Amino acid sequence: MSVEQSKRSVTVIGLGPMGRAMAGAYLDAGYAVTVWNRTPGRAGELLARGAREAPSARAAVEANELVVLSLTDYDAVFEVLEAVEPALEGKVIANLSSDTPGRAREAARRLAEHGAAQLTGGVQVPPSGIGDPASSTFYSGPVELFQRHRAALEVLTGADYRGDDPGLAQLYYQIQMDLFWSSMVGYLHATAIAEANGITAEEFLPYLSSTAASMPGFQAFYAPRITGGDHRGDVDRLAMALAGIEHVRHTAEDSGVDGALPAVLAEAVRRGVEDGFGAASLTVLVGRFRRE
């Protein structure tokens, strides 16, 4: 198959909400789309729009040079890859399933053993963002393959290439998710305290938004200091942070809300204070989180 042909046809394996949105975006862009899903019956609407359903994962891989994997995790990826091994030679697997950087590297190694290559992807938007060039996906893997298939990948979202190491796309994705999950759980905890005191989530929203909007300013102030190893406590002190988090925990508990979440935060800060960093900035925790 020529490069031109491969640019206009694609296989999508995995038809969860994300894979269905991806196959739909390719159909919208005029691609010939072959799909396969472990549980039959998920391709219905895509078939009505012109997609072709392969009878097996192997047949789906055989159909195109570019194969997009959108599976729950890499356990699912390894299970599918095992079933398609004889068809992998020469294939480019855009693996847009989430997992750890280490597992992404392992998958790339296994694919190379079978003559295939992986472009790892970390999709940063929900299915509703697929097909929108303003959305973004982290990619890593062989740069020449990324360049060759960039147009096809950009049918899904904007493409942010992070480097050759197949783990990098997942690393960037997971550090974004670290912030996302702690922010979302923190938001829900704060909302629980609000609701316990008769303030609805909607009433809380403008104040929540204002605090969230202040975060980029803090991050822009602290990032160069963290990079430079400068943790001076001139604008904030770890001991102050400990007292502040304890006030949150007590407010939660006084409201009948579980204080376990702020207690975990307080514990991380308390260890720093007990080790003699009470007068340093909260940013000193960056180094102390590391286990070496």
Ligand X SMILES: NC(=O)c1ccc[n+]([C@@H]2O[C@H](COP(=O)([O-])OP(=O)(O)OC[C@H]3O[C@@H](n4cnc5c(N)ncnc54)[C@H](OP(=O)(O)O)[C@@H]3O)[C@@H](O)[C@H]2O)c1
Residues that bind ligand X (CB under 6 A): 14-19, 37-39, 42, 70-73, 76, 79-80, 97-98, 123, 126-127
Helical residues (DSSP H) of 2-69, grouped into ranges? 3-7, 17-28, 44-48, 57-63
Say how far apart CA 137 and CA 152 lie, in whole Å. 13
Residue with smaller CB distance to ligand X, 16 or 163? 16
Residue with smaller CB distance to ligand X, 91 or 249? 91
Nearest-approach distance from CB 204 to ligand X, in angstroms: 24
Residue with smaller CB distance to ligand X, 80 or 107? 80
Residue 126, phi then psi, degrees to nearest 5: -75, 175
Tokens at residue 148, please? 């060759």
Residue with smaller CB distance to ligand X, 18 or 245? 18
Nearest-approach distance from CB 6 to ligand X, in angstroms: 23
Residue with smaller CB distance to ligand X, 73 or 164? 73
Nearest-approach distance from CB 251 to ligand X, in angstroms: 32
Say how far apart CA 173 and CA 175 lie, in whole Å. 6
Nearest-approach distance from CB 171 to ligand X, in angstroms: 15
Nearest-approach distance from CB 140 to ligand X, in angstroms: 16
Position of minimal CB gap to ligand X: 16
Query: What single string gives the DSSP state of each residue in 179-239?
Result: HHHHHHHHHHHHHHHHHHTT--HHHHHHHHHHHHHHHHHHHHHHHHHHHTT----SS--HH
